[in-house]
Amino acid sequence: MTLALIALTPFLGALLPALMIRTGRNACAVTAGGVTLFALILLLVEAPAVWRGEVLLQRVDWMPGLGLNATFMLDGLGLFFAGLILGIGLLVILYARFYLDRDDPMGRFYSYLLLFQGAMVGIVLSDNVLMLLIFWELTSLSSFLLIGYWRHAPEGRQGARMALAVTGMGGLAMIGGMLILGDIAGSYDLSVILTKGEAIQASPLYLPALLLILLGCFTKSAQFPFHFWLPHAMAAPTPVSAYLHSATMVKAGIFLMARLWPALSGTPEWFYIVSTTGLVTMVIAAVIALFKDDLKALLAFSTVSHLGLITMLLGFGTPMAATAAVFHILNHATFKAALFMSAGIVDHAAHTRDIRRLGGLRRLMPATFWVATIAALSMAGAPLLNGFLSKEMMLEEAVHTPWLGLGWPIPLLATVGALFSAAYSFRLIGHVFLGPQRDDYPAAPHDPGPGLLAAPALLVAGVVAIGLAPAMVAGGLVNLVADAVTGGAAEPVKLKIWHGLTLALAMSAVALVGGYLLLARYADAVARWRRAGVFAAKPVFDALIALLAALAERGTSALHAGTLPRALGALCVALLAMGFAGWGEGALAGSRETLTPPLIALAPWALLIGTCLAAARMHHDRLMMVLLTSVVGLVVSLGFVYLSAPDLALTQISVEVVTTVLMLLALNFLPKDSPDETGPMLRTAQAGLALVAGLGAAALSYAVMTRDGPTISEFHVAQSYPGGGGTNVVNVILVDFRGFDTFGEIIVLAIAALGIYALLDGALRGPSLGRVISWVPDQERSKDRHPMMLVVATRFLLPVSLVVGLFILLRGHNQPGGGFIAGLVVAIALVMQYVASGYAWTAQRRPMDHHGMIGLGVLVAGLTGAGAWLADRPFLTSAYGYVTLPPLEKFELATAMAFDLGVFLTVVGAVLLALENLSRVARFAEQPGPDEPMDVDPSAEPRTAQEKG
């Protein structure tokens, strides 16, 4: 379980910083760092096996039928990215401890950071693409929290929304692409998909899958034209920016392109889409970066440019280009994290990131100067630093890559991109650190303590070490990862500083010299840039979002106007369409013979039809509608009895009794008549629509019932006893085969009860309480509120009902019954106590809190389902056995009884909570008690019965 533990450790540890912050900021940071270090150690333990060429797989079957399994894979690529994520994450945690102010909630920051870290590690270790998609979306959500960490800053909130919108859109597209890819390969496991490259590329669905997947990758990695969200994410704290740009989030798209390289690359579609997008992004972002005055904005666009460079290399589709891409991923992570941390140090010291207000910091901040300068020179591609080596490999591959049969476009544009990259790197050094000192800094610049400098200094040491001894420091790792990316097609490459006098070296020299000369004429370049009036993507995005919001609002207003006739009309049209679709091949009836109904079945059917017609005719009388509705429910329950479905009959009858009582109590505070809302013509049209829809539903039912075919009920009947240990098929379905559905249903029931409580509780506070107190009944009340006969009968029936409810609960696994029916029976008995003896008398004697009963029921059901994990079985898998206790006969014990108990408690609690709140309203309407809130608005005017309607 080591691989799963590596991925889950950051998630499990995310709670600790939020708790440890109470013991101090140092303890909080140490805890966050300890979680990351533990995951990194676990990764390093597995590293030797991967270094030997092994691919580690760990599979946990979850939903095999859907292909959704918790499967983890660790190969060279996964090891490389996981090491970057955890290693740089550890440095970011150290840096953030000294970067964040005392007013910043550090516990929340580290919790968000660990969630983000866990999502990224999950992506790079996932073998199942469906699980990868879950982690993919988690990165968008957790980055939203990190980018918007400073909630008081409008730019932070806007940047977080923009990042979530763009990457979320791409994520939705990628879901479709991954599903198509898995369907083509016949598996959703990456370890299988990567071996199906020829079949995937030969499929007619290859191009749609490719486009959808690349859309997800391009949006996540900020490729043109989706590049604009990343600079706006710079509103996040600098530790987040350093982490986001060097090892996480934007590298997720790069990782996925590298992971799917063996299956998707090598086609013209891959080459032209990926390489062209990368090349355009590289050049455009480099040009924009040169003219940015915000230090973090310059670095942000430089990240976009370098991501374009890596994307272009992966798009070339050759093993050597893939090797160069891997090498540059490593180099970019080191110098870019160091640069962002240096920018944060400058911002901390000078209280500004505006390059126009900086300059001359070399003597004031010498340590920061050297760290930032070395990292910037590496980003520019200066010799003897790691950035130079991978940039030269990129230019070498560009020289040998034609585009549309032409050999010059890619080398030329790659050189232009490298030239502008050198120019903005030199600008960072020259305009921030060189030049004369100023006397108008917002604050006195100075080098920070070792806490802030340690992390970027370690990264810069890596920059120099790789640049001076690439084969010794990074050669083995690069070859290992390149072999994993290309599926074994990459030849081992010996990294070295000098490759001789090559065209790539000349292009690199042109880029460095051209970048220096361009910076020397920077004033003229800025003037031309401003005169050009360059097109900006953000206004287009804002306008598009506003347009979509307006369309969504209009559509929602049209579809959800709050009118019941419109909703029912849509339902009737849907029923009509489905009904007549059941005709199928021009024949309504199927091959099954129909049975002649006996007279005993026709009589309730005629009663049902008559009741429904009476309800349509008398719908204005609300009391009569309640009674007619209950009659319909009772007739339906008779139909269940006739069709040998006693469980459904018991449930239907119990539900009818409970809902009828509750509706009558609620009707007490409502007008007894409904007003006319439609004219005769519209009512006639609605009646016609209802009639046609009813015929359509009947046709659909008839078509289904007269056709043969396998049904899932056959499986349930056959497996009820051997699989669930019960002879009552209905109950076994509810607590075992579809236990998860039942668990969700009781949660919905609990939420509904709490929602009723919240709504009615609001009616007993403020101005609403005044209206309740001033309420005047619109009909005369009975003088005998609690008839003696009803009181005596309900008190006699209460223990009997409780025994019956217990009996139904215990026998439900093998006989008609179960937790839901038992809960309704007991709820009815308790409801009758309220009705017969009043709220006050019953409330004084109730032994339980309804909120607690609901919570206990859901908890018992959930723990029963989770108990299956102890036996290494899926959630809510029932277990059963037989026990002999003298002098009793052998009897069965099943975990389904505990689950049914949870259902029972939830049902009883929900019904009584709704009843209690209706009773509270009635009690206030009569006379508020001394223990109730009296925040009545004295200006509330009494309402007449007509006004209350």
Q: Which residue has the higher pLDDT, 351 or 589?
A: 351
DSSP 108-165: HHHHHHHHHHHHHHHHHHB-BHHHHHHHHHHHHHHHHHHHT-STT-HHHHHHHHHHHH
Q: How far is CA 717 from CA 182, 514, 709, 711, 874, in A?
A: 34, 80, 16, 11, 21
Does the pLDDT at position 231 exceed 70? yes
| Domain assignment of residue 431, yes or no | yes
pLDDT-derived band at 459 (thresholds 50, 70, 90) equals very high
Cβ atoms within 10 Å of 737's Cβ, excluding its own: 20
For 840-885, what is each residue's pLDDT tens digit?
A: 777 777 667 788 888 889 999 888 888 888 877 777 777 887 777 7
Does the pLDDT at position 662 exceed 50? yes
For 712-734, what is each residue's pLDDT tens digit?
A: 887 888 888 887 788 888 888 88
- Give residue 769's pLDDT: 63
Q: Which of the listed residues 476, 500, 531 is the one where a domain comes to its end?
A: 531
Does the pLDDT at position 454 exceed 70? yes
| Domain assignment of residue 320, yes or no | yes
- Give residue 773's pLDDT: 63
pLDDT-derived band at 926 (thresholds 50, 70, 90) equals low
Q: How far is CA 714 from CA 590, 719, 731, in A?
A: 20, 9, 15
- Give residue 780's pLDDT: 67
- Give residue 375's pLDDT: 94
| Domain assignment of residue 813, yes or no | yes
Sequence-distant (≥ 6) Cβ neighbours of residue 619 within 8 angstroms: 625, 674
Cβ atoms within 10 Å of 47's Cβ, excluding its own: 15
Cβ atoms within 10 Å of 64's Cβ, excluding its own: 8
Does the pLDDT at position 551 exceed 60? yes
State mean pLDDT over 116-132: 91
Does the pLDDT at position 396 exceed 60? yes
Strand partners of residue 766: 936
Q: Which of the listed residues 531, 564, 598 is the one where a domain comes to its end?
A: 531
Does the pLDDT at position 22 exceed 80? yes
Does the pLDDT at position 584 exceed 70? no
Q: Can you state the angle between helices 295-316 and 409-432, rounded to 10 degrees?
A: 160
Q: What is the domain count for the chain?
A: 2
- Give residue 934's pLDDT: 40
For 416-448, what is each residue's pLDDT tens digit?
A: 999 999 999 999 999 999 888 888 888 888 888
| Domain assignment of residue 611, yes or no | no
| Domain assignment of residue 337, yes or no | yes
Question: Is the backbone of residue 404 left (phi > 0), alpha (psi -120 to 50) or beta?
Answer: left
Cis peptide before 598 (omega within 30 of 0): no
Percent of the chain clearing pLDDT 90 (strictly above): 29
From CA 459, how far away is CA 91, in angstroms rounded? Answer: 9
Q: Which of the listed residues 531, 554, 576 is the one where a domain comes to its end?
A: 531
Q: Which residue has the higher pLDDT, 377 or 572?
A: 377
User: Which of 154-168, 185-199, 242-256, 367-381 is the most confident on average?
Assistant: 367-381
State mean pLDDT over 614-628: 84
- Give residue 487's pLDDT: 86
Tokens of 412: 């030329």
State mean pLDDT over 169-181: 92
* pTM (global) more than 0.85: no
- Give residue 942's pLDDT: 38
| Domain assignment of residue 758, yes or no | yes
Inter-residue contact 113 to 145 (CB < 8 Å): no
- Give residue 687's pLDDT: 80
- Give residue 931's pLDDT: 44
Does the pLDDT at position 949 exceed 60? no
Does the pLDDT at position 18 exceed 70? yes
Domain that holds residue 781: 730-947
| Domain assignment of residue 448, yes or no | yes
| Domain assignment of residue 91, yes or no | no
User: Tell me, what amino acid is at 543?
Assistant: A
> What average pLDDT does the chain have?
84
- Give residue 947's pLDDT: 38
